Amino acid sequence: MKHDPLELVVQDIAEEMAQALDRGRVADYIPDLASVSSDHFGIAIVDMEGRSFVAGDAQMQFSVQSITKVFALTMALGAVGDGLWKRVGREPSGSAFNSIVQLEWEQGIPRNPFINAGAIVVSDILLASHEPSAVIAEFLRFMRMLTGDDTIVIDEQVARSECETGNRNVALASYMRAFGNIHHPVEKTLGVYFNQCSLSMNCHQLALAGRFLMAGGINPDTGLSVVTPGRARRILALMMTCGHYDGSGEFAFRVGLPGKSGVGGGILAIVPHVASIAVWSPGLNERGNSQLGTLALERLVQRTGWSVF
Ligand code: DON
């Protein structure tokens, strides 16, 4: 099958998205996210040859939010290896990202590392015997290494906002601590989690950060291994099955790529051995995943044949 050149594809998609009427609803449970206009749309693709294709608001910073769970998981697996899976499951939850109900039935072991409960356990693992500020500094170094971009920062105002409104996360962490699956004081563990979620990046930076997952675990800038090929494959499997919470089946059905969404409206999607893609549009669908981001990825795979299925 003959496919269109990518620069044309991203331009067309950005134009189509600019005209979309149903743009979803911007998250309003964190004040700093509520003030972002749903008019935005950005897309960036970085391929195995190192070429970048960007369109729309691809250079505009947004709150990366839950997409950071992929990178925190990568770091935690590097720190403790597969022992991590004693504390976090690997099954889709079928529940909302911030749901608490399964924790009682499953003795404080979250279903997967991408729902909030699972990501909070990952934060607790990263904390080890360090202070939250040291863990976040290490996390930032990791993100800067993956992108080759030292300008990446945490948005401290978003972090404060997360902390002030994060009662559900406090409940999740406290409940898991009661089961012995959070080993540090809840404020410290959440200090890592809230700051991590408040990472600010643009689509191009996010697509660059995802390259190691595209490239079988290798950082293309350095040729060095970030994770083994087997671990990269497993992270991608979790993104496919759990990356969009209770919308993961729908995302696999429509897009057919491993992907991770964030409540800031970003999605990172990986075409193994082909491309790392980031899209951003702040309006969310009823499952809390970017409405136009999903539509854009659906159109992209239609035009490129990139679905893994
Ligand atoms: O835990 C929270 O409330 C957020 N800071 C992270 C949530 C997130 O991005 C989930 N959704 N897609």
Beta-carbon contacts of 245 under 8 Å, excluding residues fewer than 6 positions away, are: 93, 95, 96, 97, 114, 115, 261, 287, 288, 289
Q: Which of 64, 69, 135, 226 is catalytic?
A: 69
**Which backbone phi and psi does 37 adopt, to 5 degrees?**
-75, 140
Which pTM value belongs to this model? 0.97
Cα atoms in the 13 Å half-sphere on the side-chain side of 220: 21
Residue 166 CA, ligand 1 centroid: distance in Å: 10
pLDDT band at 31 (very low <50, low <70, confident <90, very high): confident
Q: What is residue 2's predicted lDDT score, i.e. its pLDDT?
A: 61
Tokens in use for 69? 């769970």
Strand partners, 290: 284
Residue range 166-184, pLDDT digits in tens: 999 999 999 999 999 999 9
- Cα separation, 30 vs 167, whole angstroms: 11
Q: How far apart are CA 165 and CA 125, in angstroms?
A: 23
The full set of domains in the chain, from first to last, is 6-63+202-303 (3.40.710.10), 66-197 (3.40.710.10)
The owner of tokens 């839950």 is 66
pLDDT digits (tens, 9 = 90+) for 270-282: 999 999 999 999 9
Q: Is 193 a catalytic residue?
A: yes
The mean pLDDT value of the chain amounts to 97
Residue 193 counted as an annotated binding residue: yes
Over 90: is that where the pLDDT of 197 sits? yes
Determine if residue 162 is labeled as part of a ligand binding site: yes
* Closest among 110, 84, 107 to 95, alpha carbons compared: 110
Q: Is the pLDDT of residue 100 over 90?
A: yes
Confirm or reject: Cβ of 262 under 6 Å from ligand 1. yes
User: How remote is the CA of residue 59 from the centroid of ligand 1, in Å?
Assistant: 22
Q: Does the Cβ of 116 fall within 6 Å of ligand 1? A: yes
Whether 225 is a known active-site residue: answer no
Compute the distance from residue 156 Cα to the ligand 1 centre, in Å.
Answer: 16
